[in-house]
A and B are shown apart, each in its own frame.
Chain A
C-alpha cells in the first residue's frame, strides 16, 4: 500500500524551497536601476559641462 503513494509523491514537481532565484533577479533589477539613473545624470553632465 505504501508503494503507490510514494510513487505519486515523486511525480509532483516540487520547486526547490531554498532557491534564491527571486533574490538574484531582484538584485539585478536593483543594479539595473542604479546604472540607468547614474547614466541619465551622467548624460546631463556631459551635455552641460
Chain B
C-alpha cells in the first residue's frame, strides 16, 4: 500500500535540470568506457592504437571523463533532485542558478575534452606537474569546478530556506546528506582551484617559467582524497535512505546516518598525504599524522556497514526469517534497484580492505604507483559507487521522465550488474595481483627490455583485457537501459523511494545541524594537518620545474 509521501514527485522543471546533468553523465560514460576498453586491450599487448593515437591520451580521456565529468554531473544532478524532492521544489531563481551551474560545467567539460582530443593535454586525470597541458584544459576544469559550486549554492540555499520554514526541526535526511557532501566538496575544491589558478594556469600560459611540484601535488591531494568521498557519499545516501525503502524495510537509525556524514565532513579532507607517502619534501611525522586521520575515516564506513547489515537483518526477521543468516534469503533478489547497488556494497568490502592497506604508512611501499592502486579504485568508484549510481538511475530516470522501469528492463539491469561483477573481478583482481608483483600503473604495454619480472605481469594484463571487454558489454547494456528509460519506456509513475527511520519518534539531535561547529572543527583539523608542512614546503622551496610534454 502506498503512503502519501511515496507519490510525491520531483517538480517537472527541477526534473529537467536533473536530467540535463544525467545526459552529460551518460554520454561521458559512453566515451570514457570506450577509452577504458581500448586501454586494457593496448596493455594486454594485443592491440596497437591506429592513427597515432597515444595510450596516454586515451588514459587521460578515461580518467577525466569518468573520474571527473561523469561523477560530478551525476552527483550534482542526483543531489539537486534529492533536495528538490525532500526539501521542496526550487524557486525559479534557484532553478536558474542550477542551469547556470550546469552550463558552466558543460562548457568547461567541452573545453577540456577538446584539448584532450587535440592531444594537447595528455596529462592523465591527476594532471600532475611538471607534465604541462594546454591552458584551455586547466581553464575548462576550472569551469567544471566553478559550475559545481553554483550547483552547490543551490543546494545550500534550498537547505537554508527549508530550515527557515521549519525552525527547530532537523532537515530531511537526504537534504542533510546532500548538504554535507556539498560543503565537503566546496572546502576540498579550494585546493585544486588554488593549484590551477595560482600555479598551473599562469605556468601553462607562459607567465611564469617554473612550477613548485610538491606544492601543486599537495594541493591536488588536499582535493583528491575528499574527491573520492564526494563520489562515495551519494552512494551512501542511496544505501542509507533509498535501499531500506526499496526492500520494504526501515532506516536503522536516522541519527547514526547523520553522524556518519558529519564524520566524513571532518575526516575526509585532512588526509591527502596518504597519497604522497613516498614523496620527498614532507616531514614523515606529518605524513603519519594524516595517516592517523585517514584511519579515522574508516569509522564512518564501518558504521555504515553495521547499519546496512542491521537494516537487512531487521527486515528479514520481520518477514519471519530465522537463524544467523536466514534474513539474507528474504531480500528482494529479483529487484535490480536493490541487487545492483548490493553488488556495489559487496565490492566495497575488498575495496575498503585495499584502501586500509594503501594508507598504512610504510606498507604503502608495497603498492605505491603499482597497478594495485588502479585495481583498488576500480572497486571503489568504478564498482561500489557506479553500480549504486546505476541502481539509482533505474528508478530516478523514469521518475523524472514520467516513464516506468519495466520487468524486461529490470531483468536486463540485473544481467548488467552480473556482467559488471564478473568483468570487474577479472580486471580489478588481475590489477591487484599484478600490482603486488610490481607492475606499474599509468604505463602503456612494454616488455621492459625482456625483463623476467615484467614477463610475469603479461598474463595478468591479458586478464585485464578480458575483464575490460566484459565490462564494456556492461556499459553497452546500461546505455541501452538509460536510453530506454529516458525516451522509450512506457509512460507511467515510478516511485522516488525514501525510507523512514525504524524508530519514528527518534528526533535527530539538532547539534548535528550546527554548521559553525562542524565546519569550524573541519577547518581546524585542516589547518593543523597542513599548515606546518606547507610552511616547510614554501620555506625550503626548490627553484621549481619547467613544463614537460612527454606525449
Contact = CB atoms under 8 A, between A and B. Distances in A.
Interface of A: 15, 17-23, 25-27, 30, 33-34, 37-38, 41-42, 44-45, 48-49
A27 B309 contact: yes
Given A25-B324, A37-B354, 5 more contacts: A22-B323, A27-B309, A37-B353, A41-B366, A45-B365
A38 B350 CA distance: 11
A30 B349 contact: yes
A23 B306 contact: yes
Contacts of A37: 350, 353-354, 356-357
Given A17-B318, A34-B356, A41 B363 contact: yes
Contact of A48 (B322, B326, B366): B366
A22 B306 contact: no
B367 interface: yes
B352 interface: yes
Nearest to B353: A37
9 contacts: A20-B310, A22-B325, A25-B324, A27-B302, A27-B306, A27-B309, A41-B363, A41-B367, A44-B436
B313 interface: yes
Contacts of A20: 310, 313-314
Q: Which one of B313, B323, B436 has the greatest number of beta carbons of chain A within 10 Å? A: B313
A34 B309 CA distance: 17
Contact of B317 (A18, A44, A45): A18
Contacts of A27: 302, 305-306, 309
Contact of A33 (B328, B349, B357): B349
A26 B314 contact: no
A38 B313 CA distance: 28
A38 B360 contact: yes
Nearest to B364: A45
Contacts of A48: 365-366
Contacts of A18: 314, 317
Interface of B: 302, 305-306, 309-310, 313-314, 316-318, 322-328, 349-350, 352-354, 356-357, 360, 362-363, 365-367, 436
Contacts of B313: 19-20, 22-23, 26
A18 B327 CA distance: 12
Main secondary structure of the interface of A (DSSP, over half): helix
Contacts of B349: 30, 33
Nearest to B306: A27
A31 B360 CA distance: 16
A21 B324 contact: yes
A17 B317 contact: yes
B31 to A, nearest CB: 34
A38 B363 CA distance: 9
Nearest to A17: B317
B502 to A, nearest CB: 10
Nearest to B360: A38
B357 to A, nearest CB: 5
A17 B327 CA distance: 11
Given A17-B318, A22-B313, A45 B362 contact: yes
A30 B324 CA distance: 15
Contacts of B322: 15
Given A22-B325, A25-B324, A45-B366, A30 B317 contact: no
A48 B370 CA distance: 15
A48 B326 CA distance: 44
A15 B325 CA distance: 13
Closest 10 A/B residue pairs (Cβ) = A23-B309, A37-B353, A26-B309, A22-B313, A17-B317, A23-B310, A41-B357, A45-B363, A15-B322, A23-B313
Nearest to B358: A41
